[in-house]
Amino acid sequence: MADASPQTASQLRQHIIFLGPPGAGKGTQAARLSAYLGIPCISTGEMLREAITRKTPLGRKAEPIMAQGGLVPDDLLVAMIEERIREKDCEKGCILDGFPRTLPQAQSLERLVGNGLPNLVVFDMEVPRDELMRRLSGRQRHDDRGPAVHRRLAEYDERTVPLIDYFRSRARFHRVDGFRDVEEVQGELRSLLSQR
């Protein structure tokens, strides 16, 4: 074949999504994988916390919701991700940590990545609930304490868990045991990615 057709070029893009409850280790694994693959890691939680620090209009809206452990409205998240994904550093793809978290967000993603969900890799990190509580209580983040933790886990069960079935049938889906050593989990992720 001569030059890469637009379709071939888009297939070279790699989009990776991390699903899993708060405390499962998504952020840690996503950051390591980002360094290894040389594609950016986009954490919606971090972007929102930055917006709060900078007191942007988005930050002002998100702050009280996040403090209570709720989910920030879909339209705000989709607009934020859309803008970020269009940046030059995402042209070879990106790793998404914390997005999508709801069905409408997942549906928007197909449009945003533009190369179809079958090219997407989804890692669902699973960790037993008592271990999650232990991990979260050891972090110092302010939504890791009190009723906000329970609300976040409840939101996860209610609104994010349905994405497991959604992606299982539409993307390359892998369930990963997150109750293991960080390096061991990372090794499994890399080996799953190499099995194309």
Exposed/middle/buried for residue 4 (C-beta within 10 Å: 0-12, 13-18, 19+): exposed
Residue with tokens 């694994």: 29
Q: Provide the sign of the torsion angle of the four alpha carbons 130, 161, 168, 45, taken in this order.
A: negative
Nearest distance from C-beta of residue 44 to ligand ADP, angstroms: 3
Fill in the amino acid letter for 67: A
Nearest distance from C-beta of residue 74 to ligand ADP, angstroms: 7
Distance CA 3, CA 8 (A): 9
Nearest distance from C-beta of residue 82 to ligand ADP, angstroms: 12
Query: Which stretch of DSSP H or E encloses residue 1?
Result: none
Nearest distance from C-beta of residue 52 to ligand ADP, angstroms: 10
> In the structure encoding, which two tokens stand for residue 78, read together?
């989709």
Q: Which is nearer to ligand ADP, 34 or 44 (CB)?
A: 44
Q: Which is nearer to ligand ADP, 149 or 189 (CB)?
A: 149
Report residue 80 CA to chain centroid gap. 14
Residue ranges in contact with ligand ADP by CB under 6 A: 22, 44-45, 48, 65-66, 69-72, 77, 98-101, 105, 143, 152
Nearest distance from C-beta of residue 174 to ligand ADP, angstroms: 19
Q: Which is nearer to ligand ADP, 99 or 173 (CB)?
A: 99
Q: Which is nearer to ligand ADP, 10 or 74 (CB)?
A: 74
Distance CA 33, CA 27 (A): 10
Nearest residue relative to ligand ADP (C-beta): 45
Q: Which is nearer to ligand ADP, 124 or 143 (CB)?
A: 143
